[in-house]
Structure 1
Amino acid sequence: MTFPSAKPTFPAGVYGITAEKFSAGRTNIEVAREMIAGGIRLIQYREKRPAKSFAEMLAECRAIRALTREAGVLFIINDYPDLALLVDADGVHVGQDDFPVPEVRRLIGPDKLIGLSTHEPAQAAAAVAAGADYIGVGPIFSTQTKEDVCAPVGLEYLDHVACTCPLPFVAIGGIKEHNLGQVMARGAATVCLVTEIVGAADIAATVRRLQAACLASINA
């Protein structure tokens, strides 16, 4: 008798995202390998067309999926449910202008995670109603990592989500080591620092340091 696989558990700590443009000449695969060496528990692959072809993204994702599977690290694909299916990723993260969560669920099935970026209370409530497994909360601070990003939502929206949203969430946007404590103190258990990690001289050591700071704050 076979049983359906359980949906992965969303981890606390550092949420890693690839960003080759800011990776000091290193490939997404190299960055993912170093993140894993530092003890990260989740990596999201984020690339936008036309910077890379679908063939290039598929090859990268297959390589990163092999690394993450061997290490027991969750692997999330940004924007592309089809790419997630092709590499058997653990889930998909979408934005407000991407495919709606129920449609993504139809594509990827019940056992994959779906994350949805949110920027205001109404979007957080809608994410719960739509069946998202977790939400992104941000950008908390000003960020240049993404193009066409909305204005910072500030710590007030983070407060709202921490107090009212039943879903796990990741705080994202302009978070650096110097303001990480502020974000954790407002109730975030999972945080994303993009350039602080991918642009670091020693990615693995940076992840270890940030992960330790996050877990210490959670357990305080």
Structure 2
Amino acid sequence: MTALPVDLSVYLVTDAAQCAARGRSVAETVALAVAGGVTAVQIREKHAPGGEFLRTVAEVAATLPERVALIVNDRVDVFLAARAAGVRVSGVHVGQSDLPAAAVRRLIGEHAVLGLSAATPDELRAAAAGPARVDHVGIGALRATATKADAPRPLGHDGFARLVRLSRLPAVAIGGVVPADLPRLRDAGAAGAAVVSGVCAAEDPRAAALAYARAWSSVPG
């Protein structure tokens, strides 16, 4: 298994609509969640225009301490624009239907973090053996989730554990993850857990993030 360049143990994936429903901006939600223990943040804006996406990335970056990675979902152009503007961004996460990982790596360079979604043994093997370096994979969905319309069928804990054992790359669980899942996921070999609704839709994002962080740290490293 390759070395993990960032701490993905409690990995927040943002949802602007869920944040807004609670009367908060994405940046406000992220700031609270990081105070609670989130270790990495992915900005996911499936429907936002490029300029709006870029502004959100810049606003979030301004709230983050250096230790917290900031990943851009899908939009390599937004990542490149943010980096060119001097915004501290760490990398990009792409799915199987987005730009090929090799093309993304050429665009973002060797020093950026590259994450890739994977849900099958073949996808995991391709991620590890491909022509470009992938730093980690996101494996899901753990459970059925309404957050991502095209999410694959739920794996459950046993299915996730089987895929982690097949992965040569650090793996993060995603899809309906709750704090009680984290000890079992960590025992299975996960490098972390990605959370959307559990934090973005929470009444108190700081307290919600703290619950995830405590659950993760309850398992000896």
With the length of structure 2 as denominator, give the TM-score of the two structures.
0.88
**Structure 2 equivalent of residue 106 of structure 1:** 106
Q: Secondary structure at the match of 2:62?
A: helix
Matches within 5 A, 1:56-205: 56-68=52-64, 70-88=65-83, 89-130=89-130, 131-205=133-207
Q: Secondary structure at the match of 1:58?
A: helix
Summarize deviations over 1:136-166 as a string: whole Å, max 9, x none: 0000111111112221123333222332322
Matches within 5 A, 1:26-65: 26-49=24-47, 52-65=48-61
Alignment gaps of 5+ in structure 2: 84-88
Q: Identify the match of residue 11 of structure 1 among 7, 13, 22.
A: 7
Contact kept in structure 2, 1:120 and 1:153, CA below 8 Å: no
Q: Secondary structure at the match of 1:106?
A: helix
Q: Secondary structure at the match of 2:218?
A: helix
Contact kept in structure 2, 1:189 and 1:218, CA below 8 Å: no
Partners in 2 of 1:45 and 1:117 — Cα distance?
Answer: 15
Summarize deviations over 1:52-100 as a string: whole Å, max 9, x none: 22111111111112222x4431000000111112223101000000000
Bigger mean CA offset, 52-61 vs 104-113? 52-61
Partners in 2 of 1:40 and 1:103 — Cα distance?
Answer: 29
2:139 maps to amino acid: V
Alignment gaps of 5+ in structure 1: 1-6
Identity of aligned residues (%): 32
**Structure 2 equivalent of residue 3 of structure 1:** none
Runs of 4+ off more than 3 Å: 178-182
Partners in 1 of 2:11 and 2:177 — Cα distance?
Answer: 12
Q: Secondary structure at the match of 1:162?
A: helix
Contact kept in structure 2, 1:19 and 1:46, CA below 8 Å: yes
After superposition, the CA RMSD in angstroms is: 1.8
